[in-house]
Amino acid sequence: SATMVKAGVFLLARLHPALAGSDLFFYLVTSIGAITLLVGSWHAIFQHDVKGLLAYSTISHLGLITLLFGLSTPMAVVAGLFHIINHATFKASLFMAAGIIDHETGTRDMRRLGGLFKLMPYTGALAIIASLAMAGVPLLNGFLSKEMFFTEALEVQGHTFMRSGIAVAAVVAGAFGVAYSLRFVHDTFFGAGPVRVERTPHEPPRFMRIPVEVLVIVCLAVGIAPAVTIAPVLHAAATGVLGDGNVPYYSLSIWHGWNVPLMMSLAGLAGGIGLYFGIRRLIDLYGISYDSRGRRVYEWKLEQATRLADRLTATLGNGSLQRYFLLMVLAALVMGAAPFAHLALSAGESQPMPPLGWLVWGLGVSATLATVALHRRRLVALVVMGAVGLAVSLAFVLLSAPDLALT
């Protein structure tokens, strides 16, 4: 989960040289990233499901990465790439730890967990270290990219509201991140419990912990010795996005002195601790019934899409083969005439068939001939024979002969 959901921000990073550089990109992407960062981290605090908390925290971190790419400065891009790597590491280990907890207790509901550290001390220690990395505690990898984020938040160019707003959002999000990390650690491994679990918790099999151990060691290694461990990987990623020679100078040392980003980080840590225990004192976290407005909107849209599909089916799918054939012929005519809508189609220069084209064509013809030879039902044979014509037509298209393809 922690790595695959990165596909969107990875694509944003790869397309950054083509998309960035305009005021529209700056204001739109940065604002959406900041909103996602805050909303995701706030909702994570109030989740009862361990994986629900981790999922909303992932939304928050993706917002942080998006915000950094929206800033568009070379150093912000480096910080975004660094956090992609760091977040994938500590969040993957946390999701695996959540799977272990579910496997050993039969539940992920933090209202039924608690006190697991005394029953699963080794797994608990691994999950706590990964949680501290997620919270941005020093000597762990999350702290380094968070420091970069705070530094870039202070150097935002543009409207005064954006400059001050991003800096404030960074500190508030840092506090929220500490709060939901504390919620995960405290409500899962400490306090009273476990209660009403399906089985007696104990340490998982050795091989079940190895992936978590490897990832936690990476979190520690990057946090303690970043120049030795992650620097070459980060430089390669930054070169791939920014281009050779455009990567700015940056330091991956764990101590840059007493500066404003460090003060912001400490403020986030203190604020997060105060926020979490303040919330626990003022309200009953376990009594919150969480209703997702986004889920209700999604379900409404899904219902509307289903109704539209039903209406289209009732209109078009009346069982008339004549109507189906007419619609198919009309669609083919429209598609065939589409290239001539503007100007006469230029044949261009002929080009050789690419290897993939030959592969698809060969597979289509071979499969169709085999089907014809093996099947005795005339309708099936007739339908699959049509695939031969389609394969031949596509081959002519690939060979830059549209006139033959239409024929």
User: What pLDDT digit, counting tens, does each position of 370-393 carry?
Assistant: 776 777 777 777 777 777 777 778
Residue 113 has pLDDT above 80, yes or no: yes
pLDDT greater at residue 389 or residue 102: 102
3: closest CA among 102, 82, 87?
A: 87
Task: List all residues 6 or more positions away from 46 whose beta carbon is below 8 Å from its beta carbon.
Answer: 285, 288, 290
- Are 105 and 90 in contact by the 8 Å Cβ rule? The answer is no
Q: How confident is the model at residue 102 (pLDDT cuts 50, 70, 90)?
A: very high
pLDDT at 388: 74
Helices 50-71, 7-14: crossing angle, 10 deg rounding: 10
Dump pLDDT digits (tens) for 237-249: 999 999 888 899 9
Residues of the chain with pLDDT > 70: what percent?
94
pLDDT mean over 44-66: 94
Write down the pLDDT at residue 341: 65
- The yes-or-no verdict on residue 350 having pLDDT over 60 is no
> CA 268 to CA 274: how far, in whole Å?
10
> What is the C-alpha to C-alpha distance for residues 372 and 336, in angstroms, rounded to an integer?
28
- Contact between residue 74 and residue 147 where contact means Cβ atoms under 8 Å apart: no
375 against 81, higher pLDDT:
81
Quote the pLDDT of residue 115.
92
**Six token digits for residue 154:** 């202070």
List Cα–Cα distances, 50 to 101, 141, 151, 201, 291, in angstroms.
Answer: 9, 22, 31, 16, 16
Mean pLDDT value across residues 321-325: 80
pTM here?
0.73
- Cα separation values, 124 from 133, 185, 347, Å: 14, 8, 67
Average pLDDT, the chain: 87
Contact between 399 and 351 under an 8 Å Cβ cutoff? The reply is yes
Among 86-95, 98-107, 314-323, the range scoring the smallest mean pLDDT is: 314-323
Burial class (CB in 10 A: 0-12, 13-18, 19+), 198: exposed
Contact call for residues 94 and 147 (beta carbons, < 8 A): no
pLDDT beyond 90 at 399? no
The two structure tokens encoding residue 41: 């981290």
The highest-confidence range among 220-234, 274-288, 292-306, by mean pLDDT, is: 220-234
Say what the pLDDT of residue 336 is. 75
Residue 51, pLDDT above cutoff 70? yes
Tokens representing 178?
């500490």
- Tell me the C-alpha distance between 337 and 180, whole Å: 58
User: pLDDT per residue over 135-167, tens digit each?
Assistant: 999 999 999 999 999 999 998 877 778 888 999
Q: Is it the case that residue 401 has pLDDT exceeding 90?
A: no
pLDDT at 125: 97
Q: What is the pLDDT of residues 2-40, one digit of tens each?
A: 556 788 899 999 999 999 989 999 999 999 999 999 999
Confidence class for position 267, pLDDT limits 50, 70, 90: very high
Beta bridge partners of 109: 49
Write down the pLDDT at residue 390.
79
